[in-house]
Chains A and B, each alone.
Chain A
Amino acid sequence: MAESELLDAEEYRRLCDYLYRRTGMAFTEARRYFVERRVEDRMIATGSSSFASYFARLRVNMEGEVEKLINAATVNETYFYREDHQFTCLTSNMLQERLRVKPPGEVLRIWSVPCSTGEEPYSIAIWLLENWPEVDAHDVEIVASDIDTNVLNAARSGIFGKRALMRLSAGLTGKYFTRAGPEHWQILDELRQSVRFTAANIVAQTETRPHGLFDVIFCRNLLIYFDDTSRRIAAENLYESLAPGGYVCLGHAESMSRISPLFEVCRFADAIVYRRPLEAKHG
């Protein structure tokens, strides 16, 4: 396929419309090049000769095409310091805001769900130690959950390959990991102890509720795979799992605007995040 634009402006907007309605992923004109390349890959993989025929396939979700395009567009592979602008936002804004309204001395609770093989919750732990001067002044609890017990076991073992570590500097790798083989590194015991891993299905209230209330929840790159009803239930479970005024962070392409009106949108310098309102709205 030629280097020139694959989709005309209207086709691009229709594709974005469809993806937004179907998955909650929100792409603007600025992401056009990125999205077009992913679509191009999928068109080649499916042998679609034109955008129209690919789009027809996508809309009937032939052979799970929606999920395949989501995977292509979100990089369905987790790694350390992924989307770290949200971690910047965590230490420069969200935690400060939470500390302002929490009774002094209360534990700050952070939930990574889904945590997959553990890169995300361990990243949060490292980030806090590295970038939050107040880390020693507060108790922070990090809980990490996933529906898949295999990934949880991998997460608990804390052994990672090169690809997972690619965004970490050599300094950080040296400081927080020990070599566990020619291609593998294991995260330090202290860090392994600092994250509690649990199994939880985010769509099951009986499994989310026992985790209690959190100040910040990272729920990245999961809701895009759900249908409307599961998304609604998940949003309600997230709402219930947040302390009033607590925050939820979604993946970079995801927008709560398609998922639920229960939260308020907040713009900080480094990220757009969503907040459970401090006071319940009425009317």
Chain B
Amino acid sequence: MADGKMRVLIVDDANLVRLYYRQILEEEGFEVEEALNGLEALERLLVSPADALIVDINMPQMDGITFLGALRRQALPLSAIPALVTSTESSADDVAAARAAGANFYHVKPIGREVLARYMAMFCGAPQ
């Protein structure tokens, strides 16, 4: 919709996680899209790009780290979409791998409403 809303693509295979982010982000004035794994996210983004991404690590077919690597190899503007990686994995290895693949931020789940909204506002510029 051409109403100037910022679009966030949630890339997570967990239905309830997507629902949780969606409710928060819609209340904060974002438009929300969903993908269940990295491959689906790439496909979605090729059709219509997003302004920001929230990316899980463990997902079927293509994990979040491989996805970010593939995204950053795409042409602009896709390659430059800012990404918040959220995961239950808190090991230093995962954080380092996510950063090396192109994550802008890494947040260990759970993530509360205010924190999520703050990250997205930072990525998109605060929505009206």
Contacts and interface: CB of A to CB of B under 8 A. Distances in A.
Interface of A: 10, 13-14, 17, 20-21, 26, 255-261, 265, 267, 272
B40 A255 contact: yes
A255 B61 contact: no
B85 interface: no
Contacts of A265: 39, 42-43, 46
Given A13-B34, A17-B36, A257 B43 contact: yes
A272 B34 CA distance: 18
8 contacts: A13-B18, A26-B40, A257-B39, A258-B37, A258-B61, A265-B42, A272-B46, A272-B47
Q: How large is the interface on B (under 10, 10 to 19, 20 to 34, 35 or more residues)?
A: 10 to 19
A226 to B, nearest CB: 15
A267 B47 contact: yes
Contacts, number: 45
A10 B15 CA distance: 10
Contacts of A26: 40
Nearest to A265: B43
A261 B61 contact: yes
Interface of B: 15, 18-19, 34-37, 39-40, 42-43, 46-47, 60-62
A261 B62 contact: yes
A17 B19 CA distance: 12
Contacts of A10: 19
B46 A261 contact: no
A92 B19 CA distance: 40
Contacts of B61: 257-261
Given A257-B37, A261-B61, A14 B43 contact: no
Nearest to B63: A261
B64 to A, nearest CB: 13
A272 B62 CA distance: 18
Contact of B36 (A20, A256, A259, A261): A20
B56 to A, nearest CB: 15
B40 A258 contact: yes
Given A13-B15, A17-B15, A261-B62, A255 B34 contact: no
